[in-house]
Structure 1
Amino acid sequence: MTSPFAPLRGQLLSAAEALADGPAALPEILAGIVDDVDHALREPLEIFPVCHHSPASALAMLRRLREKQPKVIYLELCEDLQPLLSELHNCRLPVALQAFASELMDFPKESAPLSVIAPITEASAEYQAISYALDTPGVSLVLVDRSTDHVFQWQPDPSSPAETPEPEEDLHGDAVGVEIGDLRPRFAELEEHLLHHGQVRHWSEWWDQYVEQPLAGADHETYRQVMTMIGSLFRRLAPHDSKRYASDEDRERYMWTRIREHLAATGADPADCLYICGAFHAASRLAEVGSAPGTPDFEITPRTGTTWLYGLIPSSHSAIEAQFGLAPGSVSIAAATWQKQLGRLRLTPFQLDGQKGGKKKAKRALPPPSVTTGPVTDHLTGYLAGPPTLDGLDEEELRGWCVDIVRLARRNGYLASTADAIAVFETSVLLAGMRGRTRPTPYDFQDAAVTCIEKDTVPGRRDVKRLCEILLGGDRIGQVGYDALPPLARDVYDRLAPLGLNLEQRSIQRALLDLAARPELAPCSQLLWMLRYLLPDQAVRPIMGSRKLGEKHIQESWDLDLGRHQRTIIELGYEGVTVEQVLEQRLRRDAWDPKATAASALKAVEHSMLFLESPRLTEELGARAVELLSAERTVDDAPAVLRRIRRLLGHYRATTPVLPSWCERFVTGGYAHYCTLLPTTFVDEETGVRQVGAMLGFLFGMESLALSLGCDRTQLEIAVRQSHPESPAKVALLWAARHQLGDLPLADLRLRVDELLGNPLVVPAVPQYVSGFVQALEPVPRLAPFVVETISKAFGRLPDPVLLPWLPTLITTLRQQAAELVPVLTREAGRTFPGTLAAIDSWTPPWLARRPATATATGARQPSGGPAGTLLAAHPASTDAVAELLGCPGEWAPAVAVPASGRSALLTAFPATADAVAALVSA
């Protein structure tokens, strides 16, 4: 049979021969394009090539559906998304069909979660086909593309998502986008050539100028042949050795295999069917392509054991542009073009019943099909040979744009005027003429507006380019209706209904909860705190009120922005039926994560007590914390462990008669664990002073409880004696530990510090010793007066070359690592130093006013001088009684004519206490 495209094929080959210096493959490419078009049109099952989010494709689809009224529509879309299509009735477009999996099988665990999205807009051929099929009785819609499981099976590395820019509101996140009808040259040099000669900046503008506008009013055969020709051209120029090309060929084999299976199962006539696919796939010449019986099938591999969850999520024009690499504003311009062409051509689009946000249109019965089957005729030759049909200058439309952009610019802080509107109009016409266009496009208008209105600075958040995008259509954002939400999301809306707010509204709303006057709002408060933990910070944000152990607020204030974070709530529904279930799963996952630590497990324990109030879960998480602590070989998280276990023990002691068993095991296990690691961490250079101080804080702070539970203090004493640090800061920590154990009296500590300050060779290291003493306030808080004394001596005696470089380091260290110790130092300094400026001149530091005790020949010590010595000498019986009670044996020095036991040792050990008591009695 003679091909109707034979004359066109001959013309193209003649043109290729005339280009003698052209590529050797040019004749083959040109002839192959015509053969591809002829092959596609001869297929008994009509192939309808489309481009994703193309108004021209949507218009051609709308007209074709009304003419042919097919009974079966095969659509290039993941086959397992089929049940979601009926839920589009309850949504406001654009939305995206989503498949989600968080628990993976046969995929790398580190790639979780996996997500696939397929966005749907009104200005798309796919939505017109879906609306027609769902609202027309007797019509079957069959999705034939690979399943979402196969999407990741065929992806080389599921753990590394495509490198595409993120949308501003992150509506799609890092999901893999299903490119329905993707039509873009995969030959970089070709795209660059087309953009250069088309005098445009990006691919979206070229497509709008040279494909969308000419094909908007084309008849069906012309549209079909031109789109197939473009798909064939891009296909033949694409790199055939790439993985993506091989994946595309497997997709085509997959889809035609599914089509033949459905035809064989239902007995449908291919003449009554329509196959909607991307133009790239329409030009396929594979052996497995075709509906004829006997065509070889493609062996479809089974799916993995991964359980996929499905739902609808909101989408937006900007999210679609970012997901698929389109120019900013291109989808909004496409939507505006779609509406304009509908009015110009007087067409009524298909729209799902109950579609939110859409205009209600009267339902009209479709006329009988007007399609007559006949021989294929050549429409390409006339289309390619004739001049492009371009609309003339629409002055009214362009004038409206210019006036509106000036008004919008003034609202956003620009000093625009009527003169700017005139300038934008004239510049738009000028730019269109320079680029070979009769009618200025939205892109010409955008360039003209930026040139004429935007000056040196942008006065507000939006520049003129963004204002043009808003003017020409805006970033329309879809919404999933209540009935299409998963059970968890519906439960959230139902439980927050007592707040009386419209939670679907896309703006921040303030919720005021007076729990004293309206106790019925307490469940709302509990839910909001759980959502605060699970959702992004901006979705649920507390303004007044907090949730901590032991706190109970009677008033709370919240900023709620659930309307713009609907996607995150929907994805919570993929993890469980209720928020409580999801939260419990998250806490368990955090505690049993391979990288979990004792600190993270204690954090999960605290959150379970705050949000879930489940003793069983808390006990399990606490047991996990005990297990993790005993397995740790480093003490990097010791500060966090100490902080959290202190808070938990304080809460239990205040609210329960006995400690839970896991707390007792944690204290005893931690005491033995840290005693074992103490000598090693003291000498380990990679272990910081903060970590060692936290270990000692745990050991000394939990000592009384640990000893009451059966621990042996000898283990700690041995560990301290076996510690031999070399770092000055850790040496100071060791001295503090020995002092706490009673092995190093305070007088000896002062003596050692004085020796450090008096040794010129050690003076440069004194700041490190001081830093260690500051960190020692964690395990030995009663050293606060001594630390203030030491810092004061350092400030007074260290030379400026040593002191000045150390001060910023001290401040930074305190701020980042020991912020809770600063109030302790501040309070102690306030008690030590004078409170007024006049008192400074007569003030004597207490460490200088104190007279050190002197040793006698017999080894006993005399009592301190001053009122304390006088008091004790006058009342020796009381002193003896207190000394015997404390177990401090000793004798009075011969210089004191009052023989007794224990006085000298008692006074030497506690001089400050004796002075304070003497001053109190004297007063």
Structure 2
Amino acid sequence: MSAPATVGTFSALREQLTDAATAFADGPDALAGILAGMVDDVDRALGERLEIFPVCHHSPASALAMVRRLRRKQPRVIYLELCEDLQPLLGELRNCRLPVAVQAFASQLDGFPAAWGPLSVIAPVTEASAEYQAIAYALETPGVELVLVDRSTDHVFQWSPRDEAPSPGEPASGESGADAGEQAALHGDAVGVEIGDLRPRFAELEAHLLHHGKVRHWSEWWDQYVERPLTVADHDTYRQVMVLIGSLFRRLRPAGSVRTDRDEDRERYMWTRIRQHLAASGAAPEDCLYVCGAFHAASRVEQFGLDSTAPNFDISPRTATRWRYGLIPSSHSAIEAQFGLAPGSVSIAAATWTKAVSGSGLTPYRLDGQRGGTPRGRRGRVEPETVPAEAVSDRLVGFLAAPPALDGLDEAELRRWCVDIVRLARRNGYLASTADAIAVFETSILLAGLRNRARPTPYDFADAAVTCIEKDVAPGRRDVRRLCEILLGGDRIGQVGYDALPPLARDVLDRLQPLGLDLEKRTVQRALLDLHGKPELAGCADLLWMLRHVLPPGAVRPIMGERRLGHRSIQESWDLALGRHQRALIELGYEGVTVEQVLEQRLRRAAHGPGATAAGALAAVEDAIRLLDSPRLVDELGARAVELLAAERTVDDAPRVLRRIRRLLAHHQATAPTLPAWCAAFVTTGYAHYCTLLPTAFVEEETGVRQVGAMLGFLFSLESLALSLGCDRSQLELAVGQSHPQAPAKVALLWAARHQLGLLPLTGLRAQCRELLANPLVVPAFPQYLSGFVHALEPVPGLAPFVVETMSTAFARLPDPVLLPWLPNLVTTLRQHGAEAVPLLVREAGRTFPGTLSALDSWVPPWQGTASTATPRRVGGAAGQQVHALLAGHPEPVDAVAELLGVGDGWRGPRGGAAALVEAHPSTAEAVAVLLSGR
């Protein structure tokens, strides 16, 4: 164990820095104070009775120093800077393949703004990290206690400003390729918490370091000037340099910011927890080790140190939010994206860790059962070495003044990289050759020289490879920078083992076992289900349809088969990628024990949430029938849909309501002996509701034509059912009578509604359209009337012949300046509502227009002979005699029709019989005459 540093240990270094600052700034000033304060921070941290071990996240140098220190010191208690409520999960790391992330998740918030939900905090763990080495040592060494001392996940959000949502992290710059982007999304929008966030919080300082270091990203600067030199440094030098850097960044950060206050509160929190544990356990400080970020090791809060007399920090109680904990898969790309690291930096760190471990002869610690790691190290105790106090300062001064040592194997390593990248590029479609390998080798050395580096780094090699090989970029091809990341270590993706999964995830894997697939693989697998030949697979099919509803797109994707109301496929085919979407499956387990429970909860939230609508509730009803087959839940959601419909004051969702209630009514009428009570209530409530809102909807400009058409569609298509359930038709007639629209499209809708009610005959509609076309002031607006008639096909599908007739007349009579600008709007309208309108128009046009080109010359539009004249026409000749004979020869049906219409015997007239009827209805008689004559 090194001797504790005294106050005067770093006096020589302090004097050197002060003299340099004085010479640089022409006198002692703030710069001298900063440099001298940095030495004081180092002196203070190293002089603390509780040994402080400063680290940087995902740093191989920190991990190596941690392994060395643990083997020499063999501490009995390790205090670790990590959220204290995550401690029970650390033992589950044994069942995982690193990297993984420890997660806290909350979907139902109590004490936080609702807009923040769901809340998620993750802490990634990689093998090349000091925290993992400390965790593995503590959990695998008998008698060692691991204590997490950082704020809880609840306090992470308690300390966030209420006026802005917590940020998930800084996005990574320069993501390379679709593969990296997909893996970068493994953490989702979780807030990242990591031990040892060591990065300048003064933008100008970071820009200055990057500029003079001739690097593009902070990760590259750290690897070049700190990481590699510290890999071979001894323990004391490592601690001093890390605290010195942490002190520099701490003293050059903006003062008074919210982040500064939060950092200091975290330090007060951690020292308070350390004091409380030491007081409760009675552990000796010399047997303990405090692992924290180098930034926090240079803390100057009043609670710093065991000898501080400042009172403990007042820790606020946690909120009533219920947190759920688990492990989710992580990846190098996800860590880089979460914490703003350069693409490939974590992969390079992993490669550096492997190389350093093999070169140093150290055996790192590893949890028993850990998949994908190196063998666990020995537990034998190594006697600590004693370092004289006067040598501590000499080591720091010597390290800071000495140039980095060169590695003689770098040239061979670079040559191997160049050969391998050419081979990998050729496999991915690049026309690379041996000449390119030589060019990459020479360019790497050239770039390193231009950047004042003694030897090329992986970043220099990647830049050289992109320059020499990536001469063109083809769509769908991996770029060369991504190939370099794969070569230097790859985007290693972690996996959570079966035993560490939540109950829901294990239940899903168990229930899908009959498929015979290894669903933990990250590849997409095809599942074929013959439900007719193997009825036992029906349970798997039901589960897959539920998973498709609750998991993100791509996790389970149906290739063949469908699940709709009243229909079940006998054969299905699925693409399954549950291993690739393991995080989503794990977070699903935070919501319930089974998929059925989670789906039921989500359907209830959709129907009872603050933004619930009647259309959304009907969609939940449909999903409950298709996926759960739960009559109780269907009745509950249906009753909620009735409540929501009655409470709505707008008709924006009327098209969705109409489409879904029609489908649900057809399903229940075909499968149930009686209509459910909620369906009857929805029809009667909707009939009265839309009748009440109809006059206002016709007038309001905010209400579109499609919405009004859907309202009329509900009223007319469900009218017979509504009347049988007790509704009054006069309410609809009054609503139509009170409607006075001004917009041309809505006027056309009103005419269609009046026609459906029998208030406006077809001849009246034709007369209205003729008047519009005859008025030159109205002709420019005539296409809007036509759009209204197209929308009228929803409530009045019987108008299809008239719409075809009106459109044909419009194409024949409208001038080109009016017709041509309207055609795009017509096409757009038919495309939006093609499912309802186009089939009707096409069928009617097929019946109306001739089927051959030769018949077109002699074709006469049928509506040209049906226009009513001002004076009655008499039907004479043989055809007229046939009509008279037909009516006179069958008086009984004619009398029955007359009695039904309330005419009685008055139809016979003074002339009596058929003659009077023919004179009273000349158009009808003429049409019958045409049919009888065969014209």
Q: TM-score range by the shorter chain?
A: over 0.9
Matched position secondary structure for 1:77:
strand
Query: In structure 2, do the counterparts of structure 1 residues 873 and 460 end up closer, same or farther at CA, with 3 Å as the change threshold?
Result: closer
Matched position secondary structure for 1:787:
helix
Q: Which among 51, 54, 71 is matched to residue 49 of structure 1?
A: 54
Query: In structure 2, do the counterparts of structure 1 residues 70 and 825 end up closer, same or farther at CA, with 3 Å as the change threshold?
Result: same
Q: Which among 887, 902, 905 is matched to residue 901 of structure 2?
A: 887
User: 1:337: how far off?
Assistant: 0.4
Give the letter for the 1:161 counterpart: S
* 1:478 and 2:483 correspond: no
Matched position secondary structure for 1:504:
coil
- Residue number in structure 2 paired with 1:256: 271
Alpha-carbon distance between aligned partners in 2 of 1:41 and 1:686, rounded to the nearest angstrom:
71
Alpha-carbon distance between aligned partners in 2 of 1:778 and 1:693, rounded to the nearest angstrom:
6
Are the counterparts in 2 of residues 76 and 144 from structure 1 also a CA contact under 8 Å?
yes
Query: In structure 2, do the counterparts of structure 1 residues 861 and 479 end up closer, same or farther at CA, with 3 Å as the change threshold?
Result: farther
Query: In structure 2, do the counterparts of structure 1 residues 333 and 450 end up closer, same or farther at CA, with 3 Å as the change threshold?
Result: same
User: 1:902: how far off?
Assistant: 7.0
User: 1:457: how far off?
Assistant: 3.1
- Residue number in structure 2 paired with 1:746: 762
Are the counterparts in 1 of residues 96 and 495 from structure 2 also a CA contact under 8 Å?
yes
* 1:165 and 2:161 correspond: no
Are the counterparts in 2 of residues 889 and 902 from structure 1 also a CA contact under 8 Å?
no
Alpha-carbon distance between aligned partners in 1 of 2:878 and 2:704, rounded to the nearest angstrom:
40
- Residue number in structure 2 paired with 1:273: 288
- Residue number in structure 2 paired with 1:712: 728
Alpha-carbon distance between aligned partners in 2 of 1:350 and 1:902, rounded to the nearest angstrom:
106
Matched position secondary structure for 2:79:
strand
- Residue number in structure 1 paired with 2:155: 150
User: 1:559: how far off?
Assistant: 0.8
User: 1:159: how far off?
Assistant: 2.4
Query: In structure 2, do the counterparts of structure 1 residues 460 and 43 end up closer, same or farther at CA, with 3 Å as the change threshold?
Result: same
Query: In structure 2, do the counterparts of structure 1 residues 76 and 888 end up closer, same or farther at CA, with 3 Å as the change threshold?
Result: same
Give the letter for the 2:523 counterpart: S
* 1:759 and 2:775 correspond: yes
- Residue number in structure 2 paired with 1:310: 325
- Residue number in structure 1 paired with 2:175: none
Query: In structure 2, do the counterparts of structure 1 residues 783 and 60 end up closer, same or farther at CA, with 3 Å as the change threshold?
Result: same
- Residue number in structure 2 paired with 1:519: 535
Matched position secondary structure for 1:512:
strand
Q: Which among 736, 739, 743 is matched to residue 727 of structure 1?
A: 743
Alpha-carbon distance between aligned partners in 1 of 2:929 and 2:416, rounded to the nearest angstrom:
90
* 1:347 and 2:353 correspond: no
Query: In structure 2, do the counterparts of structure 1 residues 734 and 804 end up closer, same or farther at CA, with 3 Å as the change threshold?
Result: same
* 1:610 and 2:626 correspond: yes
| 1:452-531 map, 5 Å | 452-458=468-474, 460-531=476-547
Are the counterparts in 2 of residues 47 and 275 from structure 1 also a CA contact under 8 Å?
yes
- Residue number in structure 2 paired with 1:82: 87
- Residue number in structure 2 paired with 1:119: 124
Matched position secondary structure for 1:97:
strand
Deviates more, 1:367-376 or 1:841-850: 367-376
* 1:819 and 2:868 correspond: no
Alpha-carbon distance between aligned partners in 1 of 2:399 and 2:878, rounded to the nearest angstrom:
113
Are the counterparts in 1 of residues 619 and 660 from structure 2 also a CA contact under 8 Å?
yes
- Residue number in structure 2 paired with 1:238: 253
User: 1:911: how far off?
Assistant: 8.4
Query: In structure 2, do the counterparts of structure 1 residues 789 and 470 end up closer, same or farther at CA, with 3 Å as the change threshold?
Result: same
Matched position secondary structure for 1:304:
coil
Q: Which among 5, 9, 25 is matched to residue 10 of structure 2?
A: 5
What is the CA deviation profile of residues 248-284 of structure 1, one whole-angstrom value per residue up to 9, with x for unaligned ones? 1110110011011111111111111110000000011
* 1:591 and 2:607 correspond: yes
Give the letter for the 2:647 counterpart: A
Give the letter for the 1:114 counterpart: L
What is the CA deviation profile of residues 750-795 of structure 1, one whole-angstrom value per residue up to 9, with x for unaligned ones? 1111221222221111111111111111111111111111111111
Alpha-carbon distance between aligned partners in 1 of 2:573 and 2:701, rounded to the nearest angstrom:
48
Q: Which among 18, 23, 32 is matched to residue 27 of structure 1?
A: 32
Q: Which among 669, 672, 676 is matched to residue 660 of structure 1?
A: 676
What is the CA deviation profile of residues 356-378 of structure 1, one whole-angstrom value per residue up to 9, with x for unaligned ones? 2224x366342344344864732
Give the letter for the 1:156 counterpart: P
User: 1:856: how far off?
Assistant: 5.2
Identity level (%): 71
Alpha-carbon distance between aligned partners in 1 of 2:814 and 2:884, rounded to the nearest angstrom:
38
Alpha-carbon distance between aligned partners in 2 of 1:154 and 1:54, rounded to the nearest angstrom:
28
Query: In structure 2, do the counterparts of structure 1 residues 640 and 907 end up closer, same or farther at CA, with 3 Å as the change threshold?
Result: farther
Query: In structure 2, do the counterparts of structure 1 residues 892 and 710 end up closer, same or farther at CA, with 3 Å as the change threshold?
Result: closer
* 1:190 and 2:205 correspond: yes
Structure 2 unmatched ranges of 5 or more: 1-5, 173-180
| 1:333-482 map, 5 Å | 333-359=348-374, 361=375, 364-372=378-386, 375=389, 377-378=392-393, 379-392=395-408, 394-458=410-474, 460-482=476-498
Query: In structure 2, do the counterparts of structure 1 residues 205 and 896 end up closer, same or farther at CA, with 3 Å as the change threshold?
Result: farther
* 1:542 and 2:548 correspond: no
Are the counterparts in 2 of residues 550 and 651 from structure 1 also a CA contact under 8 Å?
yes
- Residue number in structure 2 paired with 1:872: 886
Matched position secondary structure for 1:40:
helix
Alpha-carbon distance between aligned partners in 1 of 2:646 and 2:885, rounded to the nearest angstrom:
53
User: 1:875: how far off?
Assistant: 3.4
Are the counterparts in 2 of residues 332 and 469 from structure 1 also a CA contact under 8 Å?
yes
- Residue number in structure 2 paired with 1:139: 144
Q: Which among 686, 690, 694 is matched to residue 670 of structure 1?
A: 686
Are the counterparts in 2 of residues 37 and 228 from structure 1 also a CA contact under 8 Å?
yes
Alpha-carbon distance between aligned partners in 2 of 1:880 and 1:70, rounded to the nearest angstrom:
110
Alpha-carbon distance between aligned partners in 1 of 2:604 and 2:922, rounded to the nearest angstrom:
55
Query: In structure 2, do the counterparts of structure 1 residues 156 and 915 end up closer, same or farther at CA, with 3 Å as the change threshold?
Result: farther
User: 1:430: how far off?
Assistant: 1.4
User: 1:433: how far off?
Assistant: 1.7
User: 1:617: how far off?
Assistant: 1.1
Matched position secondary structure for 2:580:
helix
Query: In structure 2, do the counterparts of structure 1 residues 877 and 9 end up closer, same or farther at CA, with 3 Å as the change threshold?
Result: same
Matched position secondary structure for 1:229:
helix
| 1:796-875 map, 5 Å | 796-850=812-866, 852=868, 869=883, 872-873=886-887, 875=889
Are the counterparts in 2 of residues 851 and 865 from structure 1 also a CA contact under 8 Å?
no
Alpha-carbon distance between aligned partners in 1 of 2:651 and 2:581, rounded to the nearest angstrom:
39
Alpha-carbon distance between aligned partners in 2 of 1:910 and 1:74, rounded to the nearest angstrom:
102
Matched position secondary structure for 1:141:
strand
Deviates more, 1:8-17 or 1:386-395: 386-395
Alpha-carbon distance between aligned partners in 2 of 1:873 and 1:345, rounded to the nearest angstrom:
114
Alpha-carbon distance between aligned partners in 2 of 1:386 and 1:302, rounded to the nearest angstrom:
50
Structure 1 unmatched ranges of 5 or more: none
Are the counterparts in 2 of residues 668 and 709 from structure 1 also a CA contact under 8 Å?
yes
- Residue number in structure 2 paired with 1:18: 23
Alpha-carbon distance between aligned partners in 2 of 1:690 and 1:915, rounded to the nearest angstrom:
41
User: 1:864: how far off?
Assistant: 13
Give the letter for the 2:236 counterpart: E
User: 1:459: how far off?
Assistant: 6.0
- Residue number in structure 2 paired with 1:300: 315
User: 1:66: how far off?
Assistant: 0.9
Alpha-carbon distance between aligned partners in 2 of 1:793 and 1:863, rounded to the nearest angstrom:
32
Give the letter for the 2:805 counterpart: E
* 1:784 and 2:790 correspond: no
Query: In structure 2, do the counterparts of structure 1 residues 593 and 362 end up closer, same or farther at CA, with 3 Å as the change threshold?
Result: closer
**How many aligned positions are there?**
917
Alpha-carbon distance between aligned partners in 2 of 1:618 and 1:906, rounded to the nearest angstrom:
54
What is the CA deviation profile of residues 320-358 of structure 1, one whole-angstrom value per residue up to 9, with x for unaligned ones? 001000000000000000001111111111111111222
Give the letter for the 1:353 counterpart: D
Q: Which among 671, 685, 699 is matched to residue 715 of structure 2?
A: 699
Deviates more, 1:386-395 or 1:629-638: 386-395
* 1:637 and 2:653 correspond: yes
Are the counterparts in 2 of residues 317 and 331 from structure 1 also a CA contact under 8 Å?
yes
Matched position secondary structure for 1:474:
coil
- Residue number in structure 1 paired with 2:3: none
